[in-house]
Amino acid sequence: MDPIQTVKSKNSRTLVAEFSLQTGATNYIIRVQNADGFFREDTVSSSPAEIQNLTPYTDYTLSIMSMNSGGRSQPSLPVTAKTVLPPLQLSSSSPNNDTIIVSWVPNAYAVQYSLSIFKFGSNNPMNYNTSDSSLTISGLDAGSLYVVKGHAWDIEGRKGECSLNINQTTRKSALRHICEVYGSIQYLVTSDQNLTCNSTSSSCILSPAQCGEVHTIQVTAINDAGSGYPSSPTNLALVNATLEGNCTLTWNTVPYADSYKAFIKRGDSANETCCNTTSNSCTYQCECGYTYLMSVFAFNQAGSSPQGEILNYTTLPCCPEDVSISAVSTDTLEIMWAASRGAELYETRAAHSSEVILCNDTAPVCALSDLSCDSTYSVVVTPCNEISGCNSACKAYSKDTAPCMPTNLMLSLKNSSCVNVSWAANNTAATYMVSAQGDDGHNYMCTSSENSCVITDLLCGSQYEVSVIASNAAGQSLPSFSDFLDTEPCCPVNITVNQVTPAMSNVSWSYAKGAHSFITSLTSPRGQARCHTKDSQCLMGCITCGTNYTVTMEVFGHSGQKSNCTYQGFSSSACCPSGVRLYTTAANSLRVYWRSTGNQSYIIDMVGTNISYNCTASPGQNRCDVGGIQCGDVYHVVVSPLTPEGSKVLLCPRRLYSVIYRGKRSVD
């Protein structure tokens, strides 16, 4: 398998690896190890993949293997990666009304620290860099809430994991004047250095106070109605309202409060929403995927309470839009969507009956594989983040998978050029296409909505690979397993019968595609001659002269198929006469006699040493006279019948005669 392409740090304990997907792989195994003996194998389903629970700022070696039902591949070539520095553990304090001191535990591998601070309600952060383990930030507004976060830098110039936000409020300005309140009033003066005093006048002494101390002083007027300043509202909580787009902030009521004022600000906006109410709740318009900062003040005729608890609330991430689902293979769906606001992780869920397939990824794309064929899946993409959790109200989409592969393919030859193909399948609204791919490159097809189909016009002597594919609106199935069909062998186009001797013939024929062997037969009422051969010719004996034969052939294919072939008849040559005799007659003449059963003409050829003679006998005659014969010579005599076309049969035997005196003497 190819090596891992890229490895990046998501945070100090997580690496994200990207790799190339392999055809046929169902899962992947990422092997993670380091020089300290750490070894782990994580099973993932897609790319990119997260490797979690690692040690911050540590070198790791990663390799990947693909796997399916057949096992796992060899590990790829390794790549190295290093996690980043861990987040800073920030702590803060405000020694006076314009200063905040931020400190943290130093990291031995950090060469620099960066801090960012912004005032709540402001969009202008202030950034600082330092190599120390603390930072004093001055020039701030008194009594204001500030949000601080930071991170470390390593020697390679890599940014460490960002810390959690911490909130710090600067001290309020020192009380410089106390207004007199009329009536039976008692005043309680408190210091944040745990000093208190009571007075019914407009002054009070706090003791003992040390030099160099900074005290935050609060004066509270008390009469029979109670405290002049109600305590701060506590136990803020947030609940989602029943109306979409609305949120409700609730809090516990406090004694002596006449009304409440809630301040609500979206984290990315400078605009602030105020809500005045006499109840303990406030409904405001909220949007998905945002962080809201909220605080509540209590009021009565004596004035406002101090700022209460600050609530940092993040709404649920938004549901993805532009969701598209496509089939990338027969058992795999690829789901893509536009990244949604507030989402850090997407859980893609495909459900069919009791089957559930899950895919978790940070990217807006997911592949769900090993799905059941010819099934309808309900697909939901659920966005999640660590703070607010998952939005379970997102829309479900329906998607059908491709049809199931046809099985149990059966082939049945109806005749030499036609085959019936049947199969087993139970797909929804599917059309089946049957393909017969010939060894000569020709492809024959038929389609059907049932479970059988007939392919016609197949060529003789050919082998066909037959398979079936199902298709419907969801896509195409995998092709069925192939079955092979051999059609009947072809008959030779031409066959030739040549008579070699009066009782033997040579039969030859042209090429026959798909033929393995031949049985050739010459059949007549008088009998039959046969030969069985793999060649394109054979010799047949037991041929009867003057007989009409029917020529047939059985051609056998390599798989045992048989073709029966019939050809134009063959007639053997006329029978040669028997009992040939020569007699001398007057005037140096010879008379040739023979015995015959036919009614054809004969021609007599006599070839001597220096001269040749011939004569022709009419049909029905069995003798012929040859004159001018020279005595004392030796003659080769052949008596041959003539065909109806007048051709001489060339197969009759030649006899040798010598003429010495009157009469006949045969030296044959």
Looking at per-residue pLDDT, the higher value among 384 and 195 belongs to: 384
* Closest C-alpha among 180, 183, 178, 189 to residue 225: 183
Q: Which residues of 301-319 are buried (b: 16+ CB within 10 A; e: fewer)?
A: ebeebebbebbebbbbbbb
Predicted TM-score (pTM) of this structure: 0.52
Given this model, what pLDDT does residue 551 score?
95
pLDDT tens column, 428-475: 899 999 999 998 888 999 999 999 999 999 999 999 999 999 999 999
Cα–Cα nearest to 642, from 614, 604, 606:
604
Q: How confident is the model at residue 667, as a pLDDT?
A: 38
**Domains defined along the chain, listed by start:** 6-82 (2.60.40.10), 91-169 (2.60.40.10), 186-227 (no CATH), 237-314 (2.60.40.10), 321-400 (2.60.40.10), 407-486 (2.60.40.10), 495-571 (2.60.40.10), 578-658 (2.60.40.10)
How crowded is the C-beta side of 145, counted as CA atoms within 13 Å? 16
| pLDDT at residue 480 tops 90 | yes
Q: Is the pLDDT of residue 95 over 50?
A: yes
Pairing of strands 431-438, 443-448: antiparallel
pLDDT at 304 exceeding the cut of 80: no
Length of the chain (residues): 668
Band (pLDDT 50/70/90 cuts) for residue 302 is: low
Report pLDDT for 423: 95
532 backbone dihedrals φ, ψ, rounded to 5°? -125, 120
pLDDT (tens digit per residue) in 605-650: 999 888 888 899 988 888 998 887 877 788 899 998 988 888 888 8
Confidence of residue 176 (pLDDT cuts 50, 70, 90): very low
What was the pLDDT predicted at 178?
Answer: 45
Residue 226: its pLDDT value, please?
56
Q: How far apart are CA 73 and CA 65, in angstroms?
A: 5
| 408, two tokens | 């149990």
Cα separations in angstroms, 134 against 128, 162, 460:
11, 16, 93
Q: Please enumerate in sequence order all residues whose Cβ is within 8 A of that of 130, keeping only pairs 6 or more positions apart, or say none.
A: 112, 113, 115
268: left (phi over 0), alpha (psi -120 to 50) or beta: alpha
Q: How confident is the model at residue 224 (pLDDT cuts 50, 70, 90)?
A: low
Report the half-sphere exposure of 9 (CA within 13 A, side-chain side): 22
pLDDT digit string (tens) for 314-329?
889 999 999 999 999 8
Lowest mean pLDDT among 416-425, 459-468, 581-590: 581-590
- DSSP string across 547-569: -EEEEEEEEEETTS-EEEEEEEE
Q: Tally Cβ neighbours within 10 Å of residue 178.
A: 15
pLDDT in tens, 103-135: 999 999 999 999 999 887 777 889 999 999 999
φ/ψ of 354, rounded to 5, equals -95, 0
C-alpha span between 550 and 571 (Å, rounded): 9
Q: 117 has which bridge partners?
A: 126, 148
Q: What is the pLDDT of residue 66?
A: 92
Handedness of CA 35, 36, 37, 42 (dihedral sign): negative
The angle at the Cα of 44, spanning 38 to 50, to the nearest 5 degrees, equals: 65
* Strand, coil or helix: 121: coil
Residue 149 neighbours by CB under 8 Å, 6+ apart: 90, 115, 116, 162, 163, 164, 165, 166
pLDDT band (50, 70, 90) for residue 520:
very high
Q: Is the distance from CB of 87 to CB of 107 less than 8 angstroms?
A: no
Would you state the structure tokens that stand for residue 611, as one six-digit string?
């001269």
Instruction: Note the pLDDT tens digit of each residue in 261-301.
Output: 888 888 777 677 888 899 999 998 888 988 888 888 888 87
Judge whether residue 228 has pLDDT over 80.
no
DSSP state, 630? P
Cα atoms in the Cβ-side hemisphere of radius 13 Å centred on 113: 23
Strand partners, 262: 275, 296
Mean residue pLDDT of the chain comes to 86
CB 94 within 8 Å of CB 168:
yes
Q: In angstroms, rounded to a whole number, what is the distance separating the alpha carbons of residues 274 and 265?
A: 9
List the strands of the sheet with 196-199, edge to edge. 196-199, 186-191, 217-223, 226-227
434 strand-pairing partners: 446, 468
At 173 the pLDDT is 63
Structure token pair of residue 279? 């109840």
* d(C-alpha 483, C-alpha 614), whole Å: 70
In this predicted structure, the answer to whether residue 229 has a pLDDT above a threshold of 90 is no
* Backbone φ, ψ for residue 606 (5° rounding): -120, 120
